[in-house]
Structure 1
Amino acid sequence: MSVSTDQGGLRARKKQRTRSGLIEAGVDLFLDKGYDATTIDEIAAQVDISPRTFFRYFAGKEDIALAKGAALDDLVVEALRARPAGEPPLPALRHAVLAMVRESAASEGVGRFLHTQHLINKTPTLLAGNLRRAAETEERLTAEIAHRQGVDPDADLRPRVLVGVVYAALRIGMEAMCADPSREPERMIELIGQAVDLATAGIPETWDTDPRRW
């Protein structure tokens, strides 16, 4: 390995550590002080960088608060793409969503994950950004399901309906977990899996050739 390549790798790792540090520090401050009361100067100070340097990594506080959600969005899309090509759309999407939930619980802990979601839901600016991000992710998943099924998502509504139903069930499962005293990862996975199964109970694994029916 050349010296320049090694230095480039070191710089990339340092940038990633700084970015991760900003996300962790920002979320900690948001949960402790509240989103509106936290300043960019305070977040930057937690990782010993200047506010000017902060903007090399993020456009603002909103990007910090939504960063982990964006990473999980990428994870669920990648998980869907990694499912076997011949697997029907419903089980493929179910597996991908639960893989994302399992990763989020393992990396953050259920309590912190739920507290962050609650923060987003009660903060209008973050809620709007989160809804935009969720809509974009649903579009990506819809396109992937349509590709797997060999259909046009503009002419065949089933990929979009399937993704919408599963994501509505994901939200309901998360709300049920917020009301549950347990903070065990397996309990969250169980509740979300149950919500997805209830929501999709009438959707067959193998689709009809007619786009007007399953």
Structure 2
Amino acid sequence: MAPVDETRATGQPGLRERKKRQTRAALSQAAIRLCVLHGWADVTVEQIAAEADVSVRTFRNYFASKAEAIAASHLERMLLIADDLLARPAGEPLWDSLRHAVLGRFAPPGEPQDHAPHNERWRAGVRLMLTEPALAGEIAKAGAAAQQGLAAAVARRTGTDAERDVHPKLVAAAVAAGCAVAVEHSLRADETVPLGAVLTQVLEQLAAGLPVP
């Protein structure tokens, strides 16, 4: 999906790459916002482009569909987690670094995590949007690409080989699955639960080897 080779190769994206990623992110966030608030069927590509203040042609240059646009946010966030992992102190334990990287992108410090009652409409809208069949395939593709990017970062961090060694792939798969479980739990819990708290619990359990409760 995202053309991220420049960033992965140099560790720092160039100006052109940063602008492209910013445009992709703006379009993706616009698609999510409109589909959550107005419903999947009532949102068009034209509306998404207008919301992001770009042309429909620009939208088409980045995405083939609104489903792909929505899934791009997941891919971008996971690739940023991979970048953040590589930026953590070299001597820091891997799972501590992963916890900081994941929480920094899913639950940034200072961002409200209390899910106030007026946000219930948003939570309900996200739950409904995620049931769209057209979105499932794109999320799966984005997840596979995200997992590959995170595995490459784990390999660099641990001095292993992302192609030949199972460890970086396993860690990336565990983190990706843990993030998905945390998001789903936070969205579907009867009582609103801050995502950051759920993610912290998930990552602590993964780091401990998933001990039996």
TM-score (norm 1): 0.69
**1:43-58 equivalent positions in 2, closer than 5 A:** 43-46=48-51, 51-52=56-57, 54-56=59-61, 58=63
**Are the equivalent residues in 2 in contact too, given 1:27–1:116 (CA < 8 A)?**
no
Asked if 1:28 corresponds to 2:38, the answer is no
Q: For structure 1, list consecutive stretches of 5 or more residues without a partner in the other structure.
A: 1-8, 204-214
The residue that corresponds to 1:65 in the other structure is 70
Return the match for 1:96 from 97, 101, 105. 101
The residue that corresponds to 2:182 in the other structure is 173
The residue that corresponds to 1:137 in the other structure is 146
Asked if 1:182 corresponds to 2:189, the answer is no
Structure-1 separation of matches of 2:134 and 2:199: 26
Structure-2 separation of matches of 1:18 and 1:162: 30
Q: Tell me the alpha carbon deviations over residues 154-199 of structure 1, each in whole angstroms, 9 at most, x when there is no partner.
A: 332122112222222222222221215336xxx3211111012123
Offset of residue 20 of structure 1? 6.4
Aligned length: 189
After superposition, the Cα gap between the structure-2 partners of 1:136 and 1:120, relative to the gap in structure 1 and judged at 3 Å, is: farther
Structure-1 separation of matches of 2:39 and 2:127: 11
**Are the equivalent residues in 2 in contact too, given 1:120–1:130 (CA < 8 A)?**
no
Asked if 1:201 corresponds to 2:203, the answer is no
**Are the equivalent residues in 2 in contact too, given 1:77–1:140 (CA < 8 A)?**
yes
Q: Which stretch shifts more, 82-91 or 35-44?
A: 35-44
Offset of residue 52 of structure 1? 4.1
The residue that corresponds to 1:42 in the other structure is 47
Q: Which stretch shifts more, 124-133 or 110-119?
A: 110-119
**Are the equivalent residues in 1 in contact too, given 2:78–2:150 (CA < 8 A)?**
no
Structure-2 separation of matches of 1:75 and 1:89: 16
Structure-1 separation of matches of 2:53 and 2:161: 50
After superposition, the Cα gap between the structure-2 partners of 1:93 and 1:21, relative to the gap in structure 1 and judged at 3 Å, is: closer
Structure-2 separation of matches of 1:173 and 1:143: 23
Return the match for 1:76 from 74, 81, 90. 81
Identity of aligned residues (%): 30
- Larger-Rg structure: 1
Instruction: Write the letter of the residue equivalent to 2:88.
Output: R
The residue that corresponds to 1:208 in the other structure is none
**Are the equivalent residues in 1 in contact too, given 2:39–2:125 (CA < 8 A)?**
no
The residue that corresponds to 2:131 in the other structure is 122
Identify the structure with bigger relative contact order (alpha carbons < 8 Å, sequence gap 6+): 2
After superposition, the Cα gap between the structure-2 partners of 1:157 and 1:120, relative to the gap in structure 1 and judged at 3 Å, is: farther
User: Cα RMSD (Å) of the superposition?
Assistant: 3.6
TM-score (norm 2): 0.69
The residue that corresponds to 2:156 in the other structure is 147
Q: For structure 2, list consecutive stretches of 5 or more residues without a partner in the other structure.
A: 1-14
Offset of residue 30 of structure 1? 1.1
Structure-2 separation of matches of 1:167 and 1:199: 11
Q: Tell me the alpha carbon deviations over residues 122-164 of structure 1, each in whole angstroms, 9 at most, x when there is no partner.
A: 1122121112111111111111111222122333212211222
After superposition, the Cα gap between the structure-2 partners of 1:44 and 1:98, relative to the gap in structure 1 and judged at 3 Å, is: closer
The residue that corresponds to 1:6 in the other structure is none
